[in-house]
Amino acid sequence: MNTLTVDLGDRSYPIVLGNTADWIELLCEKLSGRTALIITDENVDAAGHLEKLEKALAANNYTDFQSLILPPGEEHKSLATVEFIAKAAVAAKLDRKSCMIALSGGVVGDLTGFAAAIYMRGIEFIQLPTTLLAAVDSSVGGKTGADLPEGKNLIGAFHQPQMVALDTDTLSTLPETEYRNGLAEVVKYGMIMDKDFFALLQNNTEKLNSFDPGFYAKIIIRSCECKAGVVAGDEREQGSRAILNYGHTVGHAVEKLSNFALPHGRAVAIGMAAAVRLAVLMDLCSKDVEALQNQLLTELKLPTRLPENSDVDAIVQAMKSDKKNSSGGITMVLPTAVGEVKIVKGVDEELLKTALKGVL
Protein backbone atom coordinates (compact mmCIF):
# COMPACT_ATOMS: atom_id res chain seq x y z
CA MET A 1 0.00 0.00 0.00
CA ASN A 2 1.22 3.50 -0.87
CA THR A 3 0.19 6.50 1.23
CA LEU A 4 0.84 10.22 0.96
CA THR A 5 -0.66 13.28 2.61
CA VAL A 6 -2.21 16.45 1.22
CA ASP A 7 -0.78 18.93 3.72
CA LEU A 8 -3.42 21.54 4.53
CA GLY A 9 -3.03 21.94 8.26
CA ASP A 10 -6.21 20.88 10.05
CA ARG A 11 -7.76 19.97 6.68
CA SER A 12 -4.94 17.57 5.76
CA TYR A 13 -5.95 14.12 4.52
CA PRO A 14 -4.38 10.88 3.30
CA ILE A 15 -4.30 9.50 -0.22
CA VAL A 16 -4.10 5.71 -0.08
CA LEU A 17 -3.30 3.45 -3.01
CA GLY A 18 -3.74 -0.32 -2.69
CA ASN A 19 -6.63 -2.75 -2.75
CA THR A 20 -9.76 -2.41 -0.63
CA ALA A 21 -8.43 -4.79 2.02
CA ASP A 22 -5.46 -2.45 2.56
CA TRP A 23 -7.50 0.61 3.51
CA ILE A 24 -10.95 -0.59 4.56
CA GLU A 25 -10.07 -0.44 8.29
CA LEU A 26 -8.96 3.18 7.94
CA LEU A 27 -12.18 3.99 6.10
CA CYS A 28 -14.27 2.35 8.80
CA GLU A 29 -12.38 4.28 11.49
CA LYS A 30 -13.33 7.54 9.79
CA LEU A 31 -16.97 6.41 9.53
CA SER A 32 -17.25 5.06 13.07
CA GLY A 33 -20.36 6.33 14.87
CA ARG A 34 -21.67 8.11 11.79
CA THR A 35 -24.25 7.49 9.08
CA ALA A 36 -22.97 7.44 5.51
CA LEU A 37 -24.42 7.70 2.02
CA ILE A 38 -22.44 6.04 -0.77
CA ILE A 39 -22.97 7.72 -4.14
CA THR A 40 -21.96 5.88 -7.30
CA ASP A 41 -23.18 5.43 -10.86
CA GLU A 42 -24.67 2.64 -12.93
CA ASN A 43 -21.38 1.75 -14.63
CA VAL A 44 -19.50 1.39 -11.35
CA ASP A 45 -22.35 -0.67 -9.93
CA ALA A 46 -22.44 -2.92 -13.01
CA ALA A 47 -18.70 -3.56 -12.64
CA GLY A 48 -19.33 -4.92 -9.14
CA HIS A 49 -17.41 -2.21 -7.26
CA LEU A 50 -20.36 -1.06 -5.13
CA GLU A 51 -21.14 -4.60 -3.97
CA LYS A 52 -17.46 -5.15 -3.15
CA LEU A 53 -17.34 -2.00 -1.01
CA GLU A 54 -20.62 -2.78 0.75
CA LYS A 55 -19.41 -6.29 1.65
CA ALA A 56 -16.06 -4.96 2.88
CA LEU A 57 -17.77 -2.40 5.11
CA ALA A 58 -20.12 -5.02 6.54
CA ALA A 59 -17.22 -7.44 7.12
CA ASN A 60 -15.60 -4.70 9.22
CA ASN A 61 -18.80 -4.25 11.24
CA TYR A 62 -19.87 -1.00 9.64
CA THR A 63 -23.47 -1.18 8.42
CA ASP A 64 -24.88 2.32 9.02
CA PHE A 65 -24.93 3.29 5.35
CA GLN A 66 -27.18 3.48 2.32
CA SER A 67 -26.25 3.60 -1.36
CA LEU A 68 -27.44 5.83 -4.18
CA ILE A 69 -26.87 4.91 -7.83
CA LEU A 70 -26.89 7.74 -10.39
CA PRO A 71 -26.99 7.62 -14.19
CA PRO A 72 -23.50 8.04 -15.66
CA GLY A 73 -22.22 10.83 -17.87
CA GLU A 74 -21.29 14.50 -17.90
CA GLU A 75 -24.80 15.41 -19.05
CA HIS A 76 -26.00 14.58 -15.52
CA LYS A 77 -23.47 16.88 -13.83
CA SER A 78 -26.12 19.44 -12.97
CA LEU A 79 -27.80 21.24 -10.11
CA ALA A 80 -30.75 18.89 -10.52
CA THR A 81 -28.50 15.95 -9.66
CA VAL A 82 -27.05 17.82 -6.67
CA GLU A 83 -30.61 18.34 -5.41
CA PHE A 84 -31.34 14.64 -6.00
CA ILE A 85 -28.32 13.68 -3.87
CA ALA A 86 -29.36 16.10 -1.12
CA LYS A 87 -32.87 14.66 -1.02
CA ALA A 88 -31.42 11.14 -0.83
CA ALA A 89 -29.31 12.33 2.11
CA VAL A 90 -32.44 13.55 3.89
CA ALA A 91 -34.17 10.22 3.23
CA ALA A 92 -31.11 8.40 4.61
CA LYS A 93 -31.31 10.59 7.74
CA LEU A 94 -27.86 12.11 7.31
CA ASP A 95 -27.10 14.79 9.89
CA ARG A 96 -24.24 17.25 10.33
CA LYS A 97 -21.95 14.50 11.65
CA SER A 98 -22.68 12.19 8.70
CA CYS A 99 -20.51 11.54 5.67
CA MET A 100 -20.98 11.13 1.93
CA ILE A 101 -18.77 8.71 0.01
CA ALA A 102 -18.11 9.11 -3.71
CA LEU A 103 -17.36 5.72 -5.28
CA SER A 104 -16.92 6.90 -8.78
CA GLY A 105 -15.18 8.69 -11.56
CA GLY A 106 -14.85 12.45 -11.68
CA VAL A 107 -18.44 13.41 -12.45
CA VAL A 108 -19.99 11.71 -9.43
CA GLY A 109 -17.00 12.71 -7.31
CA ASP A 110 -17.49 16.39 -8.12
CA LEU A 111 -21.25 16.19 -7.57
CA THR A 112 -20.90 14.35 -4.27
CA GLY A 113 -18.32 16.80 -2.99
CA PHE A 114 -20.53 19.76 -3.89
CA ALA A 115 -23.60 18.16 -2.33
CA ALA A 116 -21.58 17.51 0.84
CA ALA A 117 -20.30 21.10 0.85
CA ILE A 118 -23.83 22.53 0.93
CA TYR A 119 -25.89 19.86 2.70
CA MET A 120 -26.75 21.22 6.15
CA ARG A 121 -24.14 23.92 5.38
CA GLY A 122 -21.40 21.35 5.01
CA ILE A 123 -20.72 17.75 5.98
CA GLU A 124 -17.66 15.57 5.40
CA PHE A 125 -17.09 13.39 2.36
CA ILE A 126 -14.65 10.76 1.16
CA GLN A 127 -13.38 10.09 -2.35
CA LEU A 128 -13.00 6.51 -3.61
CA PRO A 129 -12.05 7.07 -7.27
CA THR A 130 -12.69 4.26 -9.72
CA THR A 131 -11.07 5.74 -12.85
CA LEU A 132 -7.52 6.79 -13.64
CA LEU A 133 -8.71 10.32 -14.42
CA ALA A 134 -10.37 10.68 -11.02
CA ALA A 135 -7.43 9.06 -9.23
CA VAL A 136 -4.80 11.44 -10.59
CA ASP A 137 -6.90 14.59 -10.84
CA SER A 138 -10.45 15.27 -9.69
CA SER A 139 -10.45 13.29 -6.42
CA VAL A 140 -7.53 15.31 -5.03
CA GLY A 141 -7.64 19.00 -4.18
CA GLY A 142 -11.16 19.75 -3.01
CA LYS A 143 -12.62 21.22 -6.18
CA THR A 144 -16.28 20.22 -6.34
CA GLY A 145 -19.12 21.39 -8.52
CA ALA A 146 -21.57 21.01 -11.35
CA ASP A 147 -21.97 22.33 -14.88
CA LEU A 148 -24.24 25.00 -16.31
CA PRO A 149 -25.35 25.12 -19.95
CA GLU A 150 -22.92 28.03 -20.29
CA GLY A 151 -19.87 26.03 -19.25
CA LYS A 152 -18.19 23.36 -17.13
CA ASN A 153 -17.88 23.64 -13.37
CA LEU A 154 -19.27 27.17 -13.19
CA ILE A 155 -20.94 26.42 -9.86
CA GLY A 156 -19.20 24.68 -7.00
CA ALA A 157 -17.16 25.00 -3.84
CA PHE A 158 -13.74 24.21 -2.45
CA HIS A 159 -14.43 21.36 -0.04
CA GLN A 160 -11.59 19.00 0.85
CA PRO A 161 -12.30 15.29 1.32
CA GLN A 162 -11.44 13.50 4.54
CA MET A 163 -9.68 10.72 2.66
CA VAL A 164 -8.93 9.56 -0.88
CA ALA A 165 -8.51 5.81 -1.39
CA LEU A 166 -8.08 3.92 -4.64
CA ASP A 167 -8.63 0.20 -5.06
CA THR A 168 -6.13 -0.47 -7.83
CA ASP A 169 -8.09 -3.56 -8.86
CA THR A 170 -10.83 -1.27 -10.21
CA LEU A 171 -8.48 0.07 -12.87
CA SER A 172 -8.21 -3.35 -14.50
CA THR A 173 -11.93 -3.18 -15.29
CA LEU A 174 -11.67 0.11 -17.19
CA PRO A 175 -12.17 0.19 -20.95
CA GLU A 176 -9.19 1.50 -22.89
CA THR A 177 -10.87 4.84 -23.59
CA GLU A 178 -11.13 5.48 -19.85
CA TYR A 179 -7.52 4.92 -18.90
CA ARG A 180 -6.34 6.94 -21.89
CA ASN A 181 -8.51 9.78 -20.60
CA GLY A 182 -6.51 9.67 -17.40
CA LEU A 183 -3.20 9.59 -19.25
CA ALA A 184 -3.82 13.10 -20.61
CA GLU A 185 -3.78 14.44 -17.05
CA VAL A 186 -0.67 12.37 -16.25
CA VAL A 187 1.21 13.91 -19.19
CA LYS A 188 0.04 17.31 -17.95
CA TYR A 189 1.95 16.91 -14.68
CA GLY A 190 5.16 16.22 -16.58
CA MET A 191 4.63 19.26 -18.78
CA ILE A 192 3.80 21.73 -16.02
CA MET A 193 6.25 20.80 -13.28
CA ASP A 194 8.34 17.64 -13.62
CA LYS A 195 10.59 17.08 -16.63
CA ASP A 196 11.98 13.88 -15.09
CA PHE A 197 8.46 12.48 -14.80
CA PHE A 198 7.85 13.48 -18.42
CA ALA A 199 11.00 11.57 -19.43
CA LEU A 200 9.81 8.54 -17.44
CA LEU A 201 6.58 8.57 -19.42
CA GLN A 202 8.48 8.97 -22.71
CA ASN A 203 10.64 5.96 -21.92
CA ASN A 204 7.77 3.72 -20.87
CA THR A 205 5.04 4.19 -23.45
CA GLU A 206 4.88 0.41 -23.97
CA LYS A 207 4.01 -0.12 -20.30
CA LEU A 208 1.47 2.70 -20.46
CA ASN A 209 -0.17 1.33 -23.60
CA SER A 210 -0.30 -2.24 -22.24
CA PHE A 211 -1.62 -1.02 -18.88
CA ASP A 212 1.15 -2.47 -16.75
CA PRO A 213 -0.35 -2.49 -13.19
CA GLY A 214 2.92 -1.91 -11.33
CA PHE A 215 3.92 0.98 -13.54
CA TYR A 216 0.48 2.54 -13.30
CA ALA A 217 0.67 2.45 -9.51
CA LYS A 218 3.96 4.34 -9.78
CA ILE A 219 2.60 7.06 -12.08
CA ILE A 220 -0.58 7.49 -10.04
CA ILE A 221 1.42 8.12 -6.87
CA ARG A 222 3.73 10.58 -8.62
CA SER A 223 0.78 12.41 -10.21
CA CYS A 224 -0.92 12.69 -6.82
CA GLU A 225 2.34 13.95 -5.28
CA CYS A 226 2.51 16.65 -7.94
CA LYS A 227 -1.07 17.77 -7.39
CA ALA A 228 -0.88 17.53 -3.60
CA GLY A 229 2.17 19.79 -3.60
CA VAL A 230 0.46 22.42 -5.73
CA VAL A 231 -2.77 22.29 -3.71
CA ALA A 232 -0.87 22.60 -0.41
CA GLY A 233 0.71 25.82 -1.68
CA ASP A 234 -2.47 27.38 -3.08
CA GLU A 235 -5.60 25.63 -1.86
CA ARG A 236 -8.15 28.02 -3.37
CA GLU A 237 -6.43 28.78 -6.67
CA GLN A 238 -5.44 32.34 -5.91
CA GLY A 239 -2.18 31.99 -7.81
CA SER A 240 0.11 29.05 -8.56
CA ARG A 241 -2.59 26.35 -8.46
CA ALA A 242 -3.84 27.68 -11.79
CA ILE A 243 -0.99 25.81 -13.51
CA LEU A 244 -3.07 22.65 -13.05
CA ASN A 245 -5.40 24.07 -15.68
CA TYR A 246 -2.87 23.50 -18.47
CA GLY A 247 -4.83 22.30 -21.50
CA HIS A 248 -8.16 22.90 -19.79
CA THR A 249 -9.14 26.34 -21.11
CA VAL A 250 -9.34 25.13 -24.71
CA GLY A 251 -10.21 21.62 -23.53
CA HIS A 252 -13.31 22.68 -21.61
CA ALA A 253 -14.50 24.81 -24.53
CA VAL A 254 -14.11 21.95 -27.03
CA GLU A 255 -15.73 19.53 -24.61
CA LYS A 256 -18.72 21.82 -24.14
CA LEU A 257 -19.14 22.44 -27.87
CA SER A 258 -19.25 18.68 -28.46
CA ASN A 259 -22.14 18.48 -25.97
CA PHE A 260 -19.73 16.40 -23.89
CA ALA A 261 -19.49 13.67 -26.52
CA LEU A 262 -15.73 14.30 -26.48
CA PRO A 263 -14.30 12.74 -23.28
CA HIS A 264 -12.57 15.10 -20.87
CA GLY A 265 -9.10 13.61 -21.19
CA ARG A 266 -9.12 13.73 -24.98
CA ALA A 267 -10.34 17.34 -24.81
CA VAL A 268 -7.48 18.21 -22.43
CA ALA A 269 -4.96 16.59 -24.80
CA ILE A 270 -6.26 18.79 -27.62
CA GLY A 271 -6.12 21.78 -25.29
CA MET A 272 -2.49 21.03 -24.48
CA ALA A 273 -1.65 20.84 -28.18
CA ALA A 274 -3.35 24.20 -28.76
CA ALA A 275 -1.60 25.75 -25.75
CA VAL A 276 1.89 24.70 -26.84
CA ARG A 277 1.17 25.90 -30.40
CA LEU A 278 0.23 29.31 -28.97
CA ALA A 279 3.34 29.30 -26.79
CA VAL A 280 5.50 28.72 -29.88
CA LEU A 281 3.76 31.58 -31.69
CA MET A 282 4.41 33.83 -28.69
CA ASP A 283 8.09 32.77 -28.53
CA LEU A 284 7.56 31.38 -25.04
CA CYS A 285 8.96 27.97 -25.96
CA SER A 286 10.70 26.23 -28.83
CA LYS A 287 9.17 23.99 -31.46
CA ASP A 288 11.12 21.16 -29.84
CA VAL A 289 8.89 21.43 -26.76
CA GLU A 290 5.81 21.20 -28.97
CA ALA A 291 7.22 18.18 -30.79
CA LEU A 292 8.10 16.35 -27.57
CA GLN A 293 4.70 16.89 -26.00
CA ASN A 294 2.70 16.01 -29.09
CA GLN A 295 4.81 12.95 -29.84
CA LEU A 296 4.13 11.58 -26.36
CA LEU A 297 0.41 12.30 -26.65
CA THR A 298 0.32 10.62 -30.05
CA GLU A 299 2.20 7.55 -28.80
CA LEU A 300 -0.39 7.27 -26.04
CA LYS A 301 -3.14 7.42 -28.70
CA LEU A 302 -4.41 10.81 -27.55
CA PRO A 303 -5.48 13.49 -30.04
CA THR A 304 -3.44 16.60 -30.85
CA ARG A 305 -5.91 17.98 -33.39
CA LEU A 306 -9.30 19.61 -33.04
CA PRO A 307 -12.30 17.59 -34.21
CA GLU A 308 -13.07 17.96 -37.91
CA ASN A 309 -15.16 21.01 -38.84
CA SER A 310 -14.43 22.74 -35.52
CA ASP A 311 -15.47 26.40 -35.44
CA VAL A 312 -12.50 28.40 -34.15
CA ASP A 313 -14.61 31.48 -33.43
CA ALA A 314 -17.05 29.37 -31.41
CA ILE A 315 -14.18 27.85 -29.41
CA VAL A 316 -12.81 31.29 -28.53
CA GLN A 317 -16.29 32.47 -27.55
CA ALA A 318 -16.75 29.41 -25.31
CA MET A 319 -13.34 30.06 -23.73
CA LYS A 320 -14.56 33.47 -22.60
CA SER A 321 -16.88 31.81 -20.05
CA ASP A 322 -13.96 30.05 -18.39
CA LYS A 323 -13.99 30.82 -14.66
CA LYS A 324 -10.21 31.42 -14.63
CA ASN A 325 -10.46 34.50 -16.84
CA SER A 326 -10.14 37.99 -15.39
CA SER A 327 -11.12 41.50 -16.48
CA GLY A 328 -12.85 40.13 -19.56
CA GLY A 329 -9.63 38.70 -21.02
CA ILE A 330 -8.74 35.07 -21.65
CA THR A 331 -6.21 33.54 -19.25
CA MET A 332 -4.16 30.52 -20.33
CA VAL A 333 -1.40 28.35 -18.92
CA LEU A 334 1.40 28.12 -21.50
CA PRO A 335 4.63 26.10 -21.48
CA THR A 336 8.08 27.69 -21.53
CA ALA A 337 9.90 24.33 -21.45
CA VAL A 338 9.11 20.73 -20.61
CA GLY A 339 8.37 20.89 -16.89
CA GLU A 340 7.78 24.65 -16.80
CA VAL A 341 4.75 26.83 -17.53
CA LYS A 342 3.58 30.37 -16.95
CA ILE A 343 0.13 31.90 -16.48
CA VAL A 344 -0.63 34.40 -19.24
CA LYS A 345 -3.51 36.84 -18.84
CA GLY A 346 -5.16 38.80 -21.62
CA VAL A 347 -4.23 36.41 -24.43
CA ASP A 348 -4.43 38.05 -27.86
CA GLU A 349 -7.56 36.60 -29.48
CA GLU A 350 -6.31 36.78 -33.06
CA LEU A 351 -3.10 34.97 -32.15
CA LEU A 352 -5.17 32.43 -30.24
CA LYS A 353 -7.30 31.84 -33.34
CA THR A 354 -4.14 31.33 -35.38
CA ALA A 355 -2.95 28.76 -32.85
CA LEU A 356 -6.29 26.96 -32.96
CA LYS A 357 -6.23 26.89 -36.75
CA GLY A 358 -2.76 25.35 -36.44
CA VAL A 359 -4.23 22.32 -34.68
CA LEU A 360 -7.24 21.87 -36.97
Kindly list the domain boundaries of the chain, sorted by start residue.
2-173, 176-357
Which of 222, 248, 266, 277 is the catalytic position? 248
Which of 159, 264, 266, 277 is the catalytic position? 264
Percent of the chain surpassing pLDDT 70: 99
237 as an active site residue: the answer is yes
Lowest-pLDDT choice from 44-53, 99-108, 133-142, 319-328: 319-328
Architecture of domain 2-173: 3-Layer(aba) Sandwich (3.40)
Confidence of residue 150 (pLDDT cuts 50, 70, 90): confident
For residue 230, the model assigns a pLDDT of 93
248 as an active site residue: the answer is yes
Domain 176-357 class, CATH top level: mainly alpha
52 as an active site residue: the answer is no
Q: What is the pLDDT of residues 204-224, one digit of tens each?
A: 999 999 989 889 999 999 999
- 204-214 exposure pattern, b = at least 16 Cβ within 10 A, e = fewer: ebebbeeeeee
Measured distance CA(307)–CA(359) in Å, rounded: 9
Which of 77, 180, 222, 252 is the catalytic position? 252
Lowest-pLDDT choice from 83-92, 147-156, 270-279, 343-352: 147-156
245 as an active site residue: the answer is yes
Which of 124, 237, 255, 290 is the catalytic position? 237
255 as an active site residue: the answer is no
Determine the Cα angle at 262 with ends 293 and 144, to 5°: 90
**Same-fold call for 2-173 versus 176-357:** no
Rg from Cα positions in the chain: 20
For residue 327, the model assigns a pLDDT of 67
pLDDT for residue 319 is more than 80: yes
76 as an active site residue: the answer is no
pTM, entire model: 0.93
Which of 74, 178, 185, 255 is the catalytic position? 185
- With beta carbons less than 8 A apart as the criterion, state whether 140 and 109 touch: no
For residue 341, the model assigns a pLDDT of 97
DSSP-assigned beta bridge partners for residue 40: 69
pLDDT for residue 322 is more than 80: no
Which of 49, 180, 227, 266 is the catalytic position? 227
264 as an active site residue: the answer is yes
305 as an active site residue: the answer is no
Which DSSP symbol is given to 307?
A: P
